[in-house]
Every structure is written in structure tokens, then in C-alpha cells.
Amino acid sequence: MWELFSIIGISSIALLVILIYRKKQTQTRRFTDKIQSNEIKLAASEASELRLRGEMQVLEAKLQDALLDPVTGLKDRSVFLERFQLVLRESERYQLTLGLLVLEIDNFKMINDALSYEVGDPLLKEVARRLEKCIRQVDSVVRFSNATFAILLSQLSKPETAAVVAARILQALIEPFYINGQELYLTACVGVAIFPADGQDIKALFMAADQALQLAKEKGKHSYQFSQEKIHQDSKRELALHTAINRDSLYQELVTFYQPIIDVTKGTIVCMDAKLCWQHPELGLIDAEAFSSYAAKQGKANQLTEWLLKNACGQFNRWHTAGFAPAFLGIPVSVRQIENISFIYRLSQILQELPFKPENLLLEIKGGDALPSREILEKSFNMLNYMGVKLLIENVGVGPFSFAELKLLTVHYLRLDSHLVDDIDSNQRTLALMKALLVLADAMSLQLIAQDVESETQKKILQDMSCSLMQGKLLGAPLKEQEVIEKMIVTTQ
């Protein structure tokens, strides 16, 4: 009996286990089927998304191609005009200068008719490539019609810069083109319009550039022309300077002028300032300030300063031998130059090679638009002081050097800006400011130099305030080196 019950009980349990197992299998299979179904749906969704993404990429590529000139590969006119409008608004807002160049290839129709589009189209594409190489990334170029291109020059430092770009473009196009076995030569004319001088909107600027293009054509092939004659003459000057400053003959055209700084109380010449000018064969004498500014833009500042230093130091030594012995020779430098340690090392090397006593050299430091960090300034000034040279800060009162810098830096002289002198005899505010600066300089053990003193009245007012160091035409105009000894000896007697 008990055995029967045992058998029945075991059978029931076994049956129950089988039922539970089968139920679990069914649940697992349903769950697996559900997962597989979701995975299939997900895979299908991903595949659909990939197909859609691929189609979008193809569509985007087609749209991009639609916005390109099919011949040159440049952006088409709609993109160019949209960019033009954006740059124009930016120029209006921030008072920037922009240039529009319209270029037309001479006699392109003749080339196209004679050699067909199989040569004409690749030729236009190569022209476009050369144009792109002549401009910056912020600029734009477009083919406006068959053989006419427009170039947008944004953020120009001055209108004349457009002339440099126009000349660069014409030079690039004069090189031969090799297309499908043909050697071809092109000429072109360029019309230049400037915002805001020639127009305030796109239409007006294109009209001005087209008028300038017609003027360029009248002058002859392969030339450029501004719409306004004054700008055109200024651009010719800019281009002449740009070309000539890179010639080897430049150094034969340099002229050094010397102007004295005089202690009017003692009647002695304290320093002879050396100023480097350029006797251009066509443009005449380029004064020191304009020349130094242009040389800095062309990356020639260090080379020209080195040339001036060597020649002026040699002249200074010859003066001393001849009995004319000012205490210092003044050489102008910029903050950008002295913040470069390699420039300071080169300066020290030149003084040793000449030789020239560092204590006889007065470096006249002019600030730029912005000063480097105070740490860099302090390091540079410390190195120069360690060398033994004297230091002067230019244009105190309007320059970038503040009193915060002056309290950190070891300098010996401050040269006042000419605006603090020219109306000292008629403006009480200028007079009060000059008195305050003299008190401050005395407290800091600095000496002030008043420049551009041109009248006896100015001289007397300054002298009565105990400003004894002066410079200006009244006390001695700039002289060439051969004039210095004779005239300066007479002045100091």
C-alpha cells in the first residue's frame, strides 16, 4: 500500500516538474521570439536610417554641386553674393574697408572660338586656381560671366592694399598656361572699387568696379585701375614701395638724418637722434616715420634697424674722433623688436663687433597698438639695462605705455608727445598737464624731453618749468651726416 502511494506521489511530482519545465520553455521561447522580433525591427530601422543617411549625403552632394560653377569649381554667384552681403554688413558695423575687384580676361572669345571649349574650359579652371592662390582665406572669388571674375577682399587695412592684390593677380596670370598640349598666354584688366568710398551697397560697388574696369581697358592690356583717381595714385605709391623695398638696391637709396636733443640750460648737445629715410628714385624722399611703418609691415624692421645701427654707430665714432662728442646716439626701435630676445642678442653682438660703447647708445622705444605682457616687457628691459644701454620711451601722453608699466620698468628718458608742446603757449590745460608730468618725472628720477619745439615762446615756457631737454626745428633741424659737424659745432659755441 505504502509502496503504491509512494509510486503515485513520485509520479505526481514528476508530472508537475514536467509541466513547469514546459511552461518555462514556452515563456522562454515567447521571450526569445519577442527579442528576435525587436532585433529584426531595430535592424530594419537602422538599415532604413542608413539608406536615408546615404540618400541625404547624395542629396547634399548634389546640392553642393549645384552651388558650384561647373566650369571652374568655384562657388556660384548666389553663394558669392550672400557672402558679399554678410561682409558688407560686418564692414558697416565695424567701420572696416573692403575691396571689390572685377577682372576680365582679354580676348578670351578668340581663344574659345579658335580652340573650342575643350581648351577654353580647362583654361578658365586654371585661371580660377591661380586667383585663389593670390587671395586670403577670408576673401572670395567667383566667375561672374564667361571670362569675367569678381574678387571680394574683406578687412583691408587701407584701400591701397587692394592694389597689391591686383598687381599680384596680374603677375600670376602673365605666366604661361599649358592646356591640352597648348601653350597659352593671357592678359587681363582689373577694375577696383572700395567700400565705403565708392558705394554703400553691392550694386553701387559693382557699378564703380565696372567703371574702373573700363578705365583700365582704355589704358591698355594687363592693367588695373581704381574708380577714384586719388585712391589710384595712392595705390601706385603703395605698389612702388612694396616692389622697391625688396630690391637689393634699397640700401643704396637709404639716407640717415640726425637731429640733436639739446640741454638748453647748459647749451650742450646731449644726443643725436638717427632717423632712417628712403630716397626713392620715383617717389622722392620717404620720411622716417612712414618708412619705418611700412618696413615693419613688410617684415624688414630688424634688417633696417641693424643697417642703421652699424652705419650710425660708425658715424658717431668718427664724430668723437673729430672733436664733436654728444653723450648719446639715439636709435629708434619698436616694442615688438625688443620683446624678441634674439633681437637683443643680435644688438649686443653688433655693439661688440663695431665696437661701440653700450653706455653711448640710447634706444628710443616706440609702442605699437598693444604691449606684450608686463613679464615679457620687464625681462626685455632688464636685459637691455644689463647691457648698459640707455632707454627712452616715446610719445608719453598718447602712447600705449601707462604709469603702471613705467613704475615697473627701468628707463632713463621720456619723450613727450608733440601735442603736449604745440599749444603750451595758449592752452592752460596743456600747461597744467606739463607741470604735473615734470613733477612726476622728477619724483621717479626720469628726465623729460620736449619735442617739436618751434618757437621761442614755447622754449621759454618749458625752460621756466625746469624742462631743459628739448628737440625741434628751433634748436636744430634734421641734418645729413656730412652737415652735422659744421652746423652742430656752430650751434654749441
The pLDDT of residue 21 = 53
The pLDDT of residue 362 = 95
Using 50, 70 and 90 to split pLDDT, how confident is the model at 11? Answer: low
Using 50, 70 and 90 to split pLDDT, how confident is the model at 7? Answer: very low
Is the CB of residue 486 less than 8 Å from the CB of residue 321? no
- Does pLDDT of 430 surpass 60? yes
Using 50, 70 and 90 to split pLDDT, how confident is the model at 230? Answer: low
**Average pLDDT rounded to a whole number, residues 159-164:** 87
Question: In Å, how far are 38, 295, 326, 384 from 337, measured between CA atoms?
Answer: 70, 13, 26, 12
- Using one digit for the tens of pLDDT, what is the confidence trace for 45-65? 665 665 656 655 554 544 455
- Using one digit for the tens of pLDDT, what is the confidence trace for 336-375? 888 888 899 999 999 999 889 999 999 999 876 567 777 8
Q: Which domains does the chain have, with CATH numbers?
A: 77-242 (3.30.70.270), 249-492 (3.20.20.450)
- Using a cut of 0.75, tell me whether the model's pTM lies above it: no
Task: Measure the CA–CA gap between 354 and 44, rounded to whole angstroms.
Answer: 84
**Average pLDDT rounded to a whole number, residues 378-397:** 89
- Using one digit for the tens of pLDDT, what is the confidence trace for 448-468? 999 999 899 999 999 999 999
The most confident of 3-12, 204-213, 481-490, by mean pLDDT: 204-213
Specify the range with the lowest mean pLDDT, choosing from 125-129, 143-147, 312-316, 416-420: 416-420
The pLDDT of residue 456 = 92
The mean pLDDT of the chain is 83
